[in-house]
């Protein structure tokens, strides 16, 4: 029965046989790490989209029509939209950085998990 949870490493220099866990084995042993990556990626997308919408709302501005008649409407650019948009984009970049760090940490964990057995 071959489940492909571990694979044999070739190391002819020693009298030992090395086995290392595969990606499939890691997903069985640590399923919560994949959920963390998916959650961080979806948060990244939401933060980027929300930030872009807030910056767009700042650029477009709000049309203010006073009670007294004016020749043309007044457009007000509210800085709250710009600040919130920039904060959300910075959060998106932070989430993206954390996602890549978690992914790299997961790959390093695969390399370090080796089972040593004597021949």
pLDDT of residue 11: 64
Cα separation of 109 and 111, whole Å?
5
Instruction: Give the predicted TM-score (pTM) of the model.
Output: 0.64
pLDDT of residue 92: 95
pLDDT of residue 87: 97
The residues spanned by each domain of the chain are 31-111
Q: Does residue 8 come out as left (phi exceeding 0), alpha (psi in the -120 to 50 range) or beta?
A: beta
Residue 2 reports pLDDT greater than 80: no
Structure tokens given for 71:
């020749």
19, 114 contact by CB (below 8 A): yes
Structure tokens given for 57:
């709302």
**Position 116 confidence tier, pLDDT thresholds 50, 70, 90:** very low
pLDDT of residue 14: 67
Give the model confidence (pLDDT) of 15-53 as tens digits. 777 777 777 777 777 777 778 888 889 999 999 999 999
Question: Locate tokens 């910075």: which residue?
Answer: 90
């Amino acid at each position: 029965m071959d489940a492909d949870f571990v694979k044999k490493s070739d190391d002819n220099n020693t009298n030992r046989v090395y086995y290392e866990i595969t990606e499939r084995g890691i997903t069985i042993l640590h399923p919560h790490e994949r959920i963390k990556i998916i959650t961080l990626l979806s948060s990244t997308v939401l933060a980027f989209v929300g930030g872009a919408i807030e910056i767009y709302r700042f650029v477009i501005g709000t049309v203010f029509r006073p009670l007294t008649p004016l020749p043309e409407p007044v457009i007000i650019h509210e800085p709250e939209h710009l600040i919130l948009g920039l904060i959300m984009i910075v959060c998106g970049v932070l989430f993206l950085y954390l996602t890549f760090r978690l992914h790299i940490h997961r790959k390093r964990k695969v390399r370090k998990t080796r089972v040593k057995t004597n021949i």
